[in-house]
Amino acid sequence: MLIEVDGVSKRFGGLQALDNVSLTARTGEVTAVIGPNGAGKSTLLGCLSGMIAIDAGRIRIDGYDARLAPLSRLVEVGVTRTFQNIRLSESLTVLEHLRLARLSYRRTQRARMSGPGRPLDQILARVGLADVARKLPDELSYGERRRLEIARGLATEPLLFLIDEPAAGTTPAEQLALADLIRTIAEDGVAVVLVEHHMDLVARASASVVVLNFGRVLTSGTIGEIRRNPEVIAAYLGTTADAG
């Protein structure tokens, strides 16, 4: 799968949230999007997921024009996401969250062609939640709740996984574990677009990095190139990159 974002712009009233943004993301890789608060990162994920309509430009996901495709079609081609603010149902157990997500996958043509998907207990084990499968969200630690969001996304058998600040509120050890998990998700044949502030996680997980600033692409490259770029240091790394 190839994701192509070409000249995308989005305005909310007087705020230009995205301004002529272009980037690519590929299957098997984690593409990180970083930048100061308010740079447009979550807006970009909203546009990629079909939840926010773009004003100009083009987004192509696996050959489909996302601007013209309904949200249901993006689900059909394998797009899923997590959110900056955790969105779980407090009345459903961990396993029930995954069962509900799996139902949405099984209704797709993709499921009829590719099969029922990996067993849910394997997904729970992969994210370290096998021992809490029957617990409710309010019985979980904050880090476990974050991992439940990722597990729920995996239950849809995604081809494009949009992950929004998964390390927010987690410990350094949890952040490194998340980095390894996200990297292996990509290696399993998923295109991952990751929005994150914690640079150790970004460095450990990502093949490429795109830097947004005031809704524009400041630069892109490998993590080493980004860290040496004086514009990035001035705009981001020297101030808020490790603030979470």
pLDDT in tens, 51-110: 899 999 999 988 878 776 666 667 788 899 999 889 999 999 999 999 999 998 988 888
Per-residue pLDDT tens over the stretch 112-140: 888 889 999 999 999 999 999 999 999 99
Q: Is the pLDDT of residue 183 over 90?
A: yes
Q: To the nearest whole number, what is the mean pLDDT of the chain?
A: 91
Q: Is pLDDT above 50 for 240?
A: no
* Of the candidates 110, 117, 52, 107, the residue with the CA atom closest to the CA atom of residue 81: 52
**Is the Cβ–Cβ distance between 41 and 212 less than 8 Å?**
yes
Structure tokens at 80: 């899923």
The candidate with the shortest Cα–Cα distance to 170, out of 196, 192, 136, 189, is 196
Say what the pLDDT of residue 72 is.
Answer: 63
Q: Does residue 41 surpass a pLDDT of 70?
A: yes
Q: Tell whether the model's pLDDT for residue 14 goes beyond 80.
A: yes
Q: Residue 238: its pLDDT value, please?
A: 62
Bridge partners (DSSP) listed for residue 160: 79, 191
Beta bridge partners of 164: 195
The gap from C-alpha 197 to its chain's centroid, in whole angstroms, comes to: 13
**Given pLDDT bands bounded at 50, 70 and 90, which one contains residue 11?**
very high
- Which one-letter amino acid corresponds to residue 67? R
Scan for tokens 């390390």, then name that residue: 167
Average pLDDT over residues 147-159: 95
Alpha helices in 27-141 (DSSP H): 41-48, 71-76, 94-106, 109-114, 120-126
Specify the CATH number of the domain 1-78+158-244.
3.40.50.300
Q: Which two tokens stand for residue 192?
A: 């991952």
Interatomic CA distance for residues 37 and 25, integer angstroms: 22
Specify the pLDDT at position 242. Answer: 38
In this structure, the number of other CB atoms found within 10 A of the CB of residue 172 comes to 11
Q: What are 184-204's pLDDT values in tens digits?
A: 999 999 999 999 999 999 999
Q: What does pTM read for this prediction?
A: 0.91
pLDDT value for 210: 97
CA 223 to the chain's CA centroid: 18
Residue 241 pLDDT: 42
Q: What is the DSSP letter of 225?
A: H
Q: Are 159 and 190 in contact (CB under 8 A)?
A: yes
Taking the C-alpha atoms of residue 32 and residue 37, their distance in angstroms, rounded to an integer, is: 15
Which residue spans of the chain are classified as CATH 3.40.50.300?
1-78+158-244
